[in-house]
Chains A and B, each alone.
Chain A
Amino acid sequence: MSQPIERNKSVEEYIKNHEWWWAAEKTRSERLDYLRKGIWKKGAIGGLYAPGVKVDLERAELHTQKAKELEFSPDPYVIKFAKMIAHVLDNKTIFITDHSQLVGYTGSLPNTIAWDPSCASILNDEVYNDPTAIPEPVEKNQKIIEDVNAYWAGKTDLDKMMPSFDIEDLMKMLSGSIGWGVPLARGGYSNKDYEYIMTGKRAFQDIIDEINQKLDDADEEIHKPGASKEIALMYDKINNWDAMIITLEAGIRIAKRYARLAKIIAENFEEDPKRKKELLKIAETCDRVPEKIPRNLQESFQYDIFIQMISRTEAIEGAWPSRPDYYHGPYYDKDVNIDKTLTKEQALDLVGEFMIRAAEVCQFKPKWSREGLQGIDGTWVWTMGGVKKDGTDACNDLTIAFMHAARLVRVANPTFAFRWHPKVKDDVMKEIFECLKHGLGYPNIRHDPILIANSMHWHGHPIEEARLWVHQACLSPCPPTKKGFQPMRMANATVNCAKIIEYVFSSGYDNIVNMQIGAETPEVTSFKDFEQFFDAWVTQMKTTFSILVRAVNRARILAPTLTPRPFLSALSERSIESGLDTCDPSIARGNAWITAFTWVENIDSLAAVKKLVFDEQKYTLAQLKQALDSDWNGYERMRIDFVKNAPKWGNDDDYVDNIMIRCLRAAAEFSKELKCPCGNNWPILPENVSGNIHYANIVGALPNGRRLGDALYDGGISPGPGLDKNGPTAVLNSCGKIDHITDGRAFLLNQRLSPSQLAGDKGYKLWRAYMKTWADLGIDHIQFNVVDDSTLRSAQKEPENYQEVIVRVAGYSAHFVDISRKTQDNIIQRTVQGL
């Protein structure tokens, strides 16, 4: 039986023992401590929601109630949909947590998960079949779910869109073998036009005024003598503008509901004068924003939360593109440094709470999504640092405050991604280092000059826009600008790339799901040399990429009419200007990317085939195929040969590294042939979330020695766990051979460092030297786990004592105890690099 951990040590002792989580608990303010411990953890554990966390039926019922009421109304769909969203906002239960200064949540109660029944029937079925998440009394509530589902059957976004897809592509995608996700505009990663709405120039009422002007002009235009195509199309624009106003006004109203609640509590229930004052401040804040532009840091954070909350009422958003230090920084500076209306400590409370509010957010997701994002609800990767539009350093005091707050509240979601550039000051780098040393696994570090050039190269973003980029999801840069921001997750084209090499051996037949998915390339045993083998690989790569991209492109074309986003459009300059839905490809530049899960398996497998089959002729392709078909059973000695005697990526070995470059360049070349509906390219972006575990039972045996069921590599361009044997510089040298501007959109690199080696000034200097090599090699990304094996193994044995240990899984962080045993083992298996 495990012993309860000693909890009465001093902060210094905890720090000395690298028990950062207990040190944080003792260091943070009482408010942050209360709010942090008050979080209902929403990330799924082993694919299931935690005990006590329940599906929010209220939203589903409100949405359905309004949909039924409007079913036979003559309103166009976009207006009906806007009214449904407004009805939910006007009637949902709202709450204000004790000690909080910021308000707003997607569900009706702190322990609920918002469920949007209008997105997909397959999602609704999962709600019905997930008794652990159905609130008590289960039987009664199951009946409610049944009724809701019955209404939406055949009417959800996905149901409406399915007949318009290529059915063969759709079946291949929905097989779950090669893709991850469904192509829905209201389900995915929505960037926002922050340059339009977060720069203090306008808030909701200003936008309503702008739209009203547009409506007046349109009215005048359509009633003049004459007729034209433009006038005929104007009626659709008017509907879109009207729908935008409906959602904006509903957004203002729900904020005023929070204001009223705060005032009621202050005047009728609260006895503590200090808390009364805080509640009245909340009332004043919510009365002000989002209707009018923020005036201070609290209003600015609150404005942002309302935007996120309403947008997440309109759609299931799986990411949180954001650059909070950049957009909220001026308010921090004003309050803390200029007006001195806030002390640094008071501001830190707000910053920490802003993170906590985001950490709580959750929307019901299907099980495959929960398994792929173990421990978190979505990838809330907040962008920090970087440069301003003019190229000067954008880091500010709020950048540092966020790093400080992260170490105090220690949430696993949101995490930060720091845009490094040569002008970043040492005090900022020290703060980042502290976060890494404290074992948060974030920020990850991005190479700003490389990624700005990359954004210009792949998508033609002008330099002033490219410099403003935020993470649209884990890694993908996207400018939050009028033409640049991408409103939907075009990366539904997430490819389980290990299938590419698998299909070379099966001529495209998928033996796991028993259907022809890939190309019918020639029988593998017929290949006479590596070039023929590689050609088949290229054909399979092109085929799988195309299946998924075609489906997403189709969804993007259908989105404005079938699945409109009136609220997101209302926040978008291009939609206000044009009257078109923000997903309309004609008004966007495009920023699509193919997420390449399980990519490096291809490289190590190709290298093994080249060396052991074609160069050394130790085995024939027929023998290898037989071994793979047998899942290596009966071929253990041969398997060990393929594991140990074939070169592996990440060891600065040109033999295999050149294969990586060759594969990437073949994909990059094809990326320019794959076009999105905006006319732009589809570059690849190798990374995994927890896809390496999710796909373990879907990918068959591979020539790198992997068996069906073994965890796949942890992704991106990270070497296979434990296979990088030549030290950290060799890993960087391998990765540095890739052109991080032209070979793909971004490349994830996981590294593990030893906590003891990073101690003190010496540790910082070692890390800076390592980071200099990384920067000099032009590698676009790197992220670190700085937790030792003994802590992780103890956490496996006594999880109750290590609830707060955080690890970097892939493009996101999670609490170690919330991820599956297989993922835990995979992280422990990663090589700890000695610097």
Chain B
Amino acid sequence: MQICSNCKSYFPLEEDNKKGDCVRRVIDRRQAYYLSKIVKSEAISCSYFQEKK
């Protein structure tokens, strides 16, 4: 199922297993970086979804 917890970018929080960090690589016009957004584990995933192997 395409929910955040099944995504490669999802890293669960130790203190709250219903939430996690969605960590993605971004390259903009000036710099490259990794970002992290707090997401719910059961959230319906977004266009960046990549299934965890």
Q: Which residues on A are within 8 Å of B, measured CB to CB?
A: 34-35, 37-40, 52, 90-91, 93-98, 109-111, 257, 260-261, 264-265, 268-269
- Given the contacts A261-B21, A264-B23, A265-B23, A39 and B30 also touching, CB distance less than 8 Å: yes
A90-B36 Cα distance, complex, nearest whole Å: 12
A204-B35 Cα distance, complex, nearest whole Å: 25
- Asked if B33 is an interface residue, CB under 8 A from chain A, the answer is yes
Min CB distance A357 to B, Å, is 13
Q: Are the C-beta atoms of A96 and B30 separated by less than 8 Å?
A: no
Q: Are the C-beta atoms of A95 and B36 separated by less than 8 Å?
A: yes
Contacts of B26 in A (CB 8 A): 95, 109
Contacts of B32 in A (CB 8 A): 97-98
Q: Which 3 A/B pairs are nearest by Cβ-Cβ distance?
A: A38-B31, A95-B35, A97-B33
Q: State the main secondary structure of chain B at its contact with A.
A: strand
13 contacts between A and B (CB under 8 A): A35-B31, A90-B38, A91-B38, A94-B35, A95-B33, A95-B34, A110-B33, A111-B30, A261-B21, A261-B36, A264-B34, A265-B23, A269-B25
Q: Are the C-beta atoms of B28 and A260 separated by less than 8 Å?
A: no
Contacts of A261 in B (CB 8 A): 21, 23, 34, 36
Report which of B30, B33, B34 forms a contact with A37, defined as CB distance below 8 A. B30
A111-B38 Cα distance, complex, nearest whole Å: 20
Contacts of B34 in A (CB 8 A): 95-96, 261, 264-265, 269
A11-B46 Cα distance, complex, nearest whole Å: 49
Q: Are the C-beta atoms of B21 and A260 separated by less than 8 Å?
A: yes
Q: Are the C-beta atoms of B36 and A110 separated by less than 8 Å?
A: no
- Interface residue ranges of B8-37 to A (CB < 8 Å): 11, 21, 23, 25-26, 28-37
Which residue of the partner chain B has the closest CB to A270? B34
A35-B31 Cα distance, complex, nearest whole Å: 8
A95-B32 Cα distance, complex, nearest whole Å: 10
A257-B21 Cα distance, complex, nearest whole Å: 9
Min CB distance A578 to B, Å, is 34
A265-B36 Cα distance, complex, nearest whole Å: 10
Contacts of A98 in B (CB 8 A): 31-33
Min CB distance B10 to A, Å, is 10
Q: Are the C-beta atoms of A93 and B31 separated by less than 8 Å?
A: no
Min CB distance A286 to B, Å, is 12
Q: Are the C-beta atoms of A97 and B11 separated by less than 8 Å?
A: no
Report which of B25, B29, B33 forms a contact with A52, defined as CB distance below 8 A. B29
A804-B3 Cα distance, complex, nearest whole Å: 47
Q: Are the C-beta atoms of A264 and B36 separated by less than 8 Å?
A: yes
Which residue of the partner chain A has the closest CB to B31? A38
Contacts of B21 in A (CB 8 A): 257, 260-261, 264
Min CB distance A43 to B, Å, is 15
Which residue of the partner chain A has the closest CB to B29? A52
Q: Are the C-beta atoms of B11 and A264 separated by less than 8 Å?
A: yes
- Given the contacts A260-B21, A261-B23, A264-B21, A110 and B38 also touching, CB distance less than 8 Å: no
A264-B21 Cα distance, complex, nearest whole Å: 9
A349-B23 Cα distance, complex, nearest whole Å: 27
A380-B29 Cα distance, complex, nearest whole Å: 26
A93-B29 Cα distance, complex, nearest whole Å: 19
Which residue of the partner chain B has the closest CB to A34? B31
Contacts of B38 in A (CB 8 A): 90-91
Min CB distance A295 to B, Å, is 25
- Given the contacts A261-B23, A264-B11, A96 and B29 also touching, CB distance less than 8 Å: no
A91-B22 Cα distance, complex, nearest whole Å: 12
A257-B36 Cα distance, complex, nearest whole Å: 9
Contacts of B33 in A (CB 8 A): 95-98, 110
Contacts of A94 in B (CB 8 A): 35-36
Q: Are the C-beta atoms of A110 and B37 separated by less than 8 Å?
A: no
Contacts of A257 in B (CB 8 A): 21, 36
A35-B30 Cα distance, complex, nearest whole Å: 9
Contacts of B23 in A (CB 8 A): 261, 264-265, 268-269
Contacts of B28 in A (CB 8 A): 109-111
Min CB distance B32 to A, Å, is 5
Which residue of the partner chain A has the closest CB to B23? A264
Min CB distance A84 to B, Å, is 16
Q: Are the C-beta atoms of B37 and A93 separated by less than 8 Å?
A: yes
Which residue of the partner chain A has the closest CB to B14? A260
Contacts of A90 in B (CB 8 A): 38
Report which of A40, A93, A264, A265 forms a contact with B30, defined as CB distance below 8 A. A40
Contacts of A97 in B (CB 8 A): 31-33
A39-B31 Cα distance, complex, nearest whole Å: 8
